[in-house]
Amino acid sequence: MSAKKFRVGQELWFVPQTWGRPVEGSATKITKVGRKWLELSNGRRACVKSLETGYDQCYLTRADYEKERELFRAWQELDGLIERRPPEGVTLDKINQARKLLGLEPKP
């Protein structure tokens, strides 16, 4: 994103880093828009490109945060289902299809 997409008074969803513990986050407002940084009403500043505030993260909306959180949980669940050895009936072709579907290329 560029600084032009943000405006003073715009609300963002701020999520502090909790090192694995679930957290809801809170609304914060932009108080100043700079070329590289957004200054926030909670005293932090966020990178215009990534919305990162050091270890913390801002999102455009709470819904964006919840969507990312849901995706992360689903990915962790999928990762937990994969066993060391392939289950019976899994073929190389099926693995390659899954890789392609997930956009995962084999490592050289």
pLDDT in tens, 86-97: 889 999 999 889
With a cut of 80, say whether residue 68 has pLDDT above it: yes
What does the pLDDT look like over 15-53, one tens digit per residue?
Answer: 998 877 767 899 999 999 999 999 999 999 999 999 999
Q: What is the pTM assigned to this prediction?
A: 0.76
Q: Are 57 and 34 in contact (CB under 8 A)?
A: no
Q: Is residue 35 part of a domain?
A: yes
CB atoms within 10 A of CB 28: 20
Indicate whether 60 belongs to any domain: yes
Asked if the model's pLDDT at residue 107 lies above 80, the reply is no
Residue partners of 90: CB distance under 8 A and separation at least 6: none
Q: How far apart are CA 12 and CA 9, in angstroms?
A: 9
Q: What is the DSSP letter of 43?
A: S
Does a structural domain hold residue 107?
no
Pairing of strands 11-15, 45-47: unpaired
Q: What stretches of 41-93 adopt beta strand conformation (E)?
A: 45-47, 52-53, 56-59
Overall number of domains in the chain: 1
Q: Is residue 108 part of a domain?
A: no
Domain presence at residue 40: yes
Residue ranges making up the domain that contains 51: 3-102
